[in-house]
């Protein structure tokens, strides 16, 4: 019986898009049973997963960040680990450590919590910069190095990091190098009174997480990730992405604009958004819808603008309003 990758390789483009749609909708439906009323945020998280990126969830405690990560891991049948970051953590507490075995007279590697497929880095900004740096290699190269030995991480690999945007006492702001490795930053926000009533009702007897089942296989998820790379992006849309990122570097209120990794993040996420919508080509609306989530956290606002309470999100909206959108030829002619 052929595996999912063989099925993907033999499928026509339309069938490949259906793979992405089917996988995405099943995961979104499953996670939405736990995270009530946040279907758009859940879709953004799944979009980041299929885009093979990492996600920073910046929000207050108690809105479901941890539950989302756990529900996502259970829905795709992946291993899950949670790292509760604290100021006294060491890099070895994240990556693992080599211990000497008296019986064998050899060093043995004891894997750390980073050696899982879905990793929740809870309150990541409470760790020291040295401990935060232990994540950089894992996020970019999908591997870790301990005592000169490199260990590959299992695929798929997703780091979901959370931080509280209100409480800064005892925290260490994430450096630009680490923020740049997150494909997007999202917020969950408070539920509406009606949604909060549904949360109370659903958890009266047991937590909905207990009933979450695996809805897609790891092979199906990897096939969906590969399929998004086949979504066509015209030269006009590529130029639009570059124009937005370039404008972030030239904006008068910006101290440091988005990096080329931001262009690639917007490019990859736009491909996935188009595929999840059943389209085989990226449209300018895909880029506009994802610009804030993929670019805002890569922008450092200038000191004068911060005094005027101007945020990176406001700057992204200014850039979107000022940058011309490609017209009817945006889709171009497919090769």
Segment 300-335, tens digit of pLDDT = 988 888 888 888 899 999 999 999 988 755 554 454
Regarding whether 284 and 308 lie in a shared domain, the answer is: yes
Regarding whether 240 and 221 lie in a shared domain, the answer is: no
pLDDT given at position 211 = 85
Measured between alpha carbons, how far apart are the two ends of the chain, in Å? 33
Q: Which of 181, 214, 229 is the last residue of a domain?
A: 229
Give the CATH number for residue 277: 1.10.8.80
> 122 forms bridges with which residues in the sheet?
84
| pTM of the model as a whole | 0.86
pLDDT given at position 163 = 87
Regarding whether 165 and 33 lie in a shared domain, the answer is: yes
Helix H or strand E encompassing 132: helix 129-132
What is the token pair recorded at 3?
């595996």
Spell out, as residue ranges, where the chain has pLDDT lower than 70: 1-15, 167-168, 170, 328-335
Regarding whether 98 and 183 lie in a shared domain, the answer is: yes
- Domain range enclosing 182: 4-229
pLDDT given at position 281 = 92
Q: What is the largest CA-CA distance in the chain?
A: 71
Q: Which of 181, 201, 229 is the last residue of a domain?
A: 229
Under a CB-based contact definition with an 8 Å cutoff, are residues 230 and 239 in contact? no
Regarding whether 331 and 274 lie in a shared domain, the answer is: yes
Total number of domains in the chain: 2
What is the token pair recorded at 162?
């959370």
Q: Which of 203, 229, 255 is the last residue of a domain?
A: 229
Under a CB-based contact definition with an 8 Å cutoff, are residues 326 and 287 in contact? no
Regarding whether 222 and 238 lie in a shared domain, the answer is: no
CB atoms within 10 A of CB 294: 31
Regarding whether 262 and 167 lie in a shared domain, the answer is: no
pLDDT given at position 238 = 94
What is the token pair recorded at 213?
């089942």
Under a CB-based contact definition with an 8 Å cutoff, are residues 7 and 36 in contact? no
pLDDT given at position 243 = 94
Give the CATH number for residue 97: 3.40.50.300
């Amino acid at each position: 019986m052929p595996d999912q990758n063989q099925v993907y390789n033999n499928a026509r483009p339309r069938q490949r898009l259906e793979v992405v749609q089917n996988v995405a909708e099943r995961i979104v439906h499953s996670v939405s049973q736990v995270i009530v009323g946040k279907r758009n945020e859940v879709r953004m998280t799944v979009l980041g997963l299929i885009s093979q990126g990492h996600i920073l969830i910046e929000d207050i405690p108690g809105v479901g960040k941890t539950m989302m990560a756990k529900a996502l891991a259970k829905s795709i049948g992946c291993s899950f680990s949670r790292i509760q970051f604290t100021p006294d953590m060491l890099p070895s507490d994240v990556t693992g450590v080599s211990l000497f075995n008296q019986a064998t007279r050899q060093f043995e590697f004891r894997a750390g919590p980073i050696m899982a497929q879905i990793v929740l880095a809870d309150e990541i900004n409470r760790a020291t910069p040295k401990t935060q740096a232990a994540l950089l290699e894992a996020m970019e190269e999908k591997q870790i190095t301990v005592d000169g030995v490199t260990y590959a991480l299992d695929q798929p690999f997703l780091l979901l990091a959370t931080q509280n945007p209100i409480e800064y006492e005892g925290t260490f702001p994430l450096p630009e190098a680490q923020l740049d490795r997150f494909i997007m930053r999202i917020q969950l926000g408070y539920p509406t009174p009606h949604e909060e009533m549904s949360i109370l009702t659903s958890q009266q007897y047991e937590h909905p997480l207990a009933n979450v089942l695996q809805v897609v296989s790891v092979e199906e998820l990897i096939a969906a990730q590969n399929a998004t790379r086949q979504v066509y992006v015209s030269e006009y849309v590529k130029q639009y992405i570059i124009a937005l990122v370039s404008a972030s570097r030239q904006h008068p209120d910006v101290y440091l604009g988005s990096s080329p990794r931001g262009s690639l993040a917007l490019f990859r996420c736009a491909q996935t958004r188009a595929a999840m919508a059943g389209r085989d080509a990226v449209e300018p609306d895909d880029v506009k819808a994802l610009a804030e989530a993929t670019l805002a956290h890569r922008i450092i606002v200038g000191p004068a603008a911060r005094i005027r309470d101007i945020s990176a999100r406001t700057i992204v909206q200014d850039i979107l309003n000022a940058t011309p959108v490609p017209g009817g030829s945006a889709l171009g002619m497919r090769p």
